[in-house]
């Protein structure tokens, strides 16, 4: 029997607010354990929560970006469960009345446009963290307790692991463009739970689903879904029954393992939090949030093609990340050369970032300096070969490209007399190749160009070397 894979994702996006969702404690990642805590996030008796306005604004922005309906009034609820890193015994979340509902995302997993529907986006606070790798005991760090999250819940519209990965990448791209989260999966800023089931092809009723947790990369999301789909298939084909449960993904072993039985909504005994009033979103806030939305990747890529006359491929690569797109535009503003700027950003810059595990914001060569380097090439002061040497030096020194060129004596030689002298020496030193060229082996021109450029340490103007060589070779 042939089966169809059915996948829905629940994505938790950690917001990059300065303070937590319901208190003034810092939400900064990486601080010493239990240093960012107060009576509210420790759940001490009598402490009352106050909602962070920025969390509401970020939720509205994300809802607008994903085509959701924004509720004029939504309710914060208590989600009750008991775990050592949840000091209140409940998590403040939203249930029956979320702030955003019914959105859509367009993704492309290599088979054209696919629409993924969203059920809801709601506000939630994070729990603390249980630490199991210090000796035999379990320790609790409550720094993360109360950190603001937005949970994005999709319909089960994905049919392949690649679609799920593409959807998750799209979510990350949007939150990064909005500037509301860094979307770092390794640090837990973006966390994903996958609901996976199989059903016979042609059947509309959904099969029993399992939930997969602990996937910290796009590749692991794909691998976990692939494994779980195959596990379901083996059970079904052997006449077994799928248990509705929550499973953990073990990346080292490449498998999922049972964690606990899957909870239902009624298990959490949701009810409106009596300490928090309804969240109200008026038209003024909607209009303001709409005006603050950025130019999203697809629109920006189209503009790059039209405005800068670069290929669609270049535009798509340059707009994957907002910071890279901004870097490119600033480089063009300084250099005045769109295609050369595109080539340098996509080539040397991205190569360096990958090799050194850097984000573009951490890169030492700011766009103004790269634009200056590209301008020197366009002005004929240096060749592309020398420019790569200058680029490496710019990463070490804070000087401009022009300052480095002048200090190191790297300016391009365009003196016809100097070039002719070197050409004459090269031709005299290679009589065999000269005779072969004049006998019809014209591809030897590249050999002579290389010899001249090597003799002049890459500083000669390549076009002038070609012109002088051709004139002498054909004389």
What are 402-429's pLDDT values in tens digits?
Answer: 999 888 887 766 667 778 888 888 888 8
Helix (DSSP H) and strand (DSSP E) numbers for the chain: 16, 16
Query: Considering all CA atoms of the chain, what is the largest pairwise distance in Å, rounded to the nearest integer?
Result: 97
What are 368-399's pLDDT values in tens digits?
Answer: 999 999 999 998 888 888 899 999 999 998 89
Where on the phi/psi map is residue 184: left (φ > 0), alpha (ψ -120 to 50), or beta? beta
What are 259-281's pLDDT values in tens digits?
Answer: 877 666 678 899 999 999 999 99
**Per-residue pLDDT at 265:** 66
Helix or strand run (H / E) with residue 140? strand 137-141
Q: Tell me the percentage of the chain whose pLDDT exceeds 90.
A: 71
C-alpha distances (whole Å) from 376 to each of 86, 135, 403 are: 59, 59, 11
Mean pLDDT to the nearest integer, 203-210: 92
Whether the pLDDT of residue 64 is over 90: the answer is yes
Residues 173, 325: contact at Cβ < 8 Å?
Answer: no
Residues 215, 224: contact at Cβ < 8 Å?
Answer: yes
Q: Tell me the percentage of the chain whose pLDDT exceeds 70.
A: 98
**Per-residue pLDDT at 35:** 94
What are 28-40's pLDDT values in tens digits?
Answer: 888 999 999 999 9
3-class SS of residue 70? strand
**Per-residue pLDDT at 1:** 81
What are 294-316's pLDDT values in tens digits?
Answer: 999 999 999 999 999 999 999 99
The structure's pTM equals 0.82
Whether the pLDDT of residue 105 is over 70: the answer is yes
**Per-residue pLDDT at 262:** 64
Domains contained in the chain, CATH given: 3-287 (no CATH), 295-408 (no CATH), 416-473 (1.10.10.410)
């Amino acid at each position: 029997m042939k089966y169809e894979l059915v996948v829905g994702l629940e994505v938790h996006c950690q917001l990059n607010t300065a303070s937590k969702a319901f208190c003034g404690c810092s939400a900064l990642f990486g601080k010493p354990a239990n240093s960012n805590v107060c009576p509210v996030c420790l759940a001490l008796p009598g402490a009352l929560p106050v909602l962070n306005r920025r969390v509401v604004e970020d939720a509205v922005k994300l809802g607008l970006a994903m085509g959701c309906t924004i509720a004029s009034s939504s309710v914060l609820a208590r989600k009750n469960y008991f775990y050592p890193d949840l000091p209140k015994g409940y998590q403040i979340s939203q249930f029956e009345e979320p702030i955003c509902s019914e959105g859509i995302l367009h993704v492309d997993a290599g088979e054209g446009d696919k629409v993924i529907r969203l059920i809801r986006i709601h506000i939630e606070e994070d729990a603390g963290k249980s630490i199991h790798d210090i000796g035999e005991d379990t320790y609790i760090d409550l720094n993360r307790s109360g950190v603001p999250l937005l949970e994005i819940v999709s319909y089960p519209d994905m049919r392949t692991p690649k679609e799920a990965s593409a959807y998750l990448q799209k979510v990350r791209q949007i939150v990064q463009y909005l500037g509301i989260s860094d979307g770092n999966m390794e640090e837990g800023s973006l966390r994903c739970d996958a609901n996976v089931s199989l059903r016979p092809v042609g059947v509309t009723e959904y099969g029993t689903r399992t939930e997969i947790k602990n996937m910290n990369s796009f590749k692991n999301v794909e691998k976990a879904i692939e494994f779980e789909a195959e596990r379901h298939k083996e059970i079904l084909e052997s006449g077994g029954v799928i248990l509705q449960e929550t499973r953990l993904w073990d990346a080292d072993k490449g498998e999922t393992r049972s964690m606990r039985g899957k909870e239902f909504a009624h298990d959490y005994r949701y009810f409106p939090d009596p300490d928090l009033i309804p969240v109200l979103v008026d038209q003024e806030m909607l209009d303001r949030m709409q005006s603050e939305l950025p130019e999203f990747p697809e629109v920006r890529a189209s503009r790059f093609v039209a405005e800068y006359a670069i290929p669609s491929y270049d535009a798509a690569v340059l707009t994957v990340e907002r910071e890279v797109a901004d870097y490119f535009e600033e480089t063009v503003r300084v250099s005045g050369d769109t295609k050369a700027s595109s080539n340098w950003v996509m080539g040397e810059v991205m190569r360096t970032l990958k090799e050194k595990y850097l984000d573009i914001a951490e890169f030492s060569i700011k766009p103004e300096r790269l634009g200056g380097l590209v301008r020197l090439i366009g002005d004929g002061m240096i060749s592309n070969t020398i420019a790569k040497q200058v680029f490496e030096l710019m990463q070490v020194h804070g000087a401009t490209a022009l300052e480095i060129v002048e200090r190191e004596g790297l300016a391009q030689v365009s003196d016809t007399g100097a070039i002719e002298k070197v050409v004459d020496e090269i031709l005299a030193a290679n009589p065999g190749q000269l005779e072969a060229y004049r006998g019809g082996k014209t591809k030897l021109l590249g050999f002579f160009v290389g010899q001249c450029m090597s003799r002049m340490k890459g500083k000669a103007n390549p076009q002038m070397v070609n012109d002088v060589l051709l004139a002498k070779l054909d004389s």
